[in-house]
Amino acid sequence: MNIRCARPEDLMNMQHCNLLCLPENYQMKYYFYHGLSWPQLSYVAENEQGQIVGYVLAKMEEDSNDNPHGHITSLAVKRSHRRLGLAQKLMDQAARAMVECFHAKYVSLHVRKSNRAALNLYSNTLKFSISEVEPKYYADGEDAYAMKRDLKIFQQSSSCSETSKNAIKSGDKSCEKGDKSGDKSSEKSDKPPGKSGDKSSEKSSDKASEKSVDKLSDKMTDLSLEKSSDKSSEKSGDKLANGQSGKHNKAK
């Protein structure tokens, strides 16, 4: 089952459902009047085949001396689809639309005093209360109960949904800010080291290389000194040996 907002092409099927279910019938121009003036407020229930099995026809009352409020002109569900909760869903959808679109404070309706099933639905399930009795309201002379339903529950849910939407928006903004700051910090970290870092690293590397060069030069100097001393000692040794051999030859 599907509950959706009524469209202009649904009006004839809504009228047909009305003729099957209720003694209070309306001309087609009355349906068009509702559909054109308050297209957000009327809903239909359709089965799996897309056939309309119920509807609610609603409007806003144009009373400048009272708080904004809606009115249920007609509600009907085919016998084959009753006791499925469709009437309650249709009524709740219309009431919610009255609050969200027109800031309605309450919704009203009329019901025959003899319609016990409808009275049970309105009083016990939908929490309507009888405001007054209107004598001979219907064409056949039957009295009607005028009933009202406070729409505070829908006002609260509407404000909660708005609050959650605002919270989501602010959360998105804060996330965007966080992303931007994160991008900036990552950009900073992605940048190569600054000049000061380069200079310090260059200085330390230069010092290390200078030390290694100095050590290497010292070693080379030591080696050269050792070699020169070895050579001088060898020369002096050779001279001494030659001198001794010469003396030995003279003695002979």
Answer whether residue 246 shows pLDDT above 70. Answer: no
**pLDDT on residue 192:** 47
**pLDDT on residue 159:** 58
Confidence (pTM): 0.63
Query: Which residue, 36, 97, 44, 76, is CA-closest to 28?
Result: 36
**pLDDT on residue 63:** 82
**pLDDT on residue 209:** 47
Q: Where does the pLDDT of residue 178 fall: very low under 50, low under 70, confident under 90, or very high at 90 and above?
A: low
What is the arithmetic mean of pLDDT over 147-168? 71
Contacts of 17 (CB under 8 A, 6+ apart): 52, 53, 54, 55, 76, 78
**pLDDT on residue 189:** 46
5-39, pLDDT tens digit by residue? 999 999 999 999 999 999 999 999 999 999 999 99
Q: Where does the pLDDT of residue 90 fall: very low under 50, low under 70, confident under 90, or very high at 90 and above?
A: very high
Strands 129-134 and 106-112, bridge-based pairing: unpaired
